[in-house]
Structure 1
């Protein structure tokens, strides 16, 4: 079931997101950043601030009362920004990410937003290809990779973001 996350979901979301992006558990899935970055992907405080902002929506995918996936959606006025699409590492490749993408598109349309944009680390070719297969295209724009207080780059390659978009 896909519903909107609330502040009571912060602890579970933090555990899920960090387990899918960083550390040993993330290596079970194909969306890991553990070979590129160390440190936490997000903190509970950051998630709380995200949820409190009225322009943000975190959709959570729950199975048997456990949050197994989520996605951040940000109303940017003329477009919807999609970020932090997360599926529990052991459940990746089961169609859950695709369902969250579809729900994200419905959310954008409900807000009368004509497109969805996102950023993906440029060297994550397999992830970019997955988004391409789901209708997202490279805009040609690049953004610098920002570091937060908990990030440490361990990649030998320089990191930047590719900006992808999907017209709805």
Structure 2
């Protein structure tokens, strides 16, 4: 199905999807889980609702033939770059091209906004995930950032750093 722009009424479904992709037992069905690294939720409905009030933020969604959301990506204009985050695919559907389609849609969104660089942060010890992004043209910038200190995005079980990846288009 096509990738389209999410709307505020999608918040409950987005919330379930993102948390299932990153945390808890359900996330362990996929290869992108952070359940062994972080406790707590990845996102909540209040935060998601706030994203729809910010004109610099767009959330794209992928839906199945029944209209259910099975993938999403957060895009934030941080001129001169487009930041990619909250990249989520249902754990039971990972490896079926949904993530690739979402990344291509993010690139299209950047081009339409006259942005030539996409940027993201990934947990530095997630080597298989970093490799997946590298195969799609992303490169480590050498910059490292600390993991979020606010517990809103989860509580780290160990010290965590984020590697910054970028892609020029």
TM-score (norm 2): 0.96
Distance in 2 separating the partners of 1:32 and 1:102: 22
Calculate the aligned-residue CA RMSD, in Å: 0.8
Unpaired runs of at least 5, structure 1: none
Could you list the structure 1 runs, at least 4 aligned residues long, displaced by more than 2 angstroms after superposition.
Answer: 147-150
- The aligned counterpart of 1:118 is 120
Which residue of the partner structure matches residue 138 of structure 2?
136
Distance in 2 between the 1:32 and 1:98 partners?
17
C-alpha deviation, 1:38, in angstroms: 0.7
The alpha-carbon deviation at position 52 of structure 1 amounts to 1.4
> Counterparts of 1:102 and 1:152 in 2: how far apart (Å)?
31
Alignment of 1:1-168 (within 5 A): 1-63=2-64, 64-150=66-152, 151-155=154-158, 158-168=159-169
Q: Distance in 2 between matches of 1:124 and 1:108?
A: 25
| TM-aligned CA deviation for residue 149 of structure 1 | 2.9
Gap regions ≥5 residues in structure 2: none
TM-score, with normalisation over the residues of structure 1? 0.96
- How far 1:152 sits from its partner (Å)? 1.7
Q: Deviations over 1:43-78 (max 9, x none)?
A: 000001112100000000011110000000001120
Question: Which deviates the most, 100-109 or 145-154?
Answer: 145-154
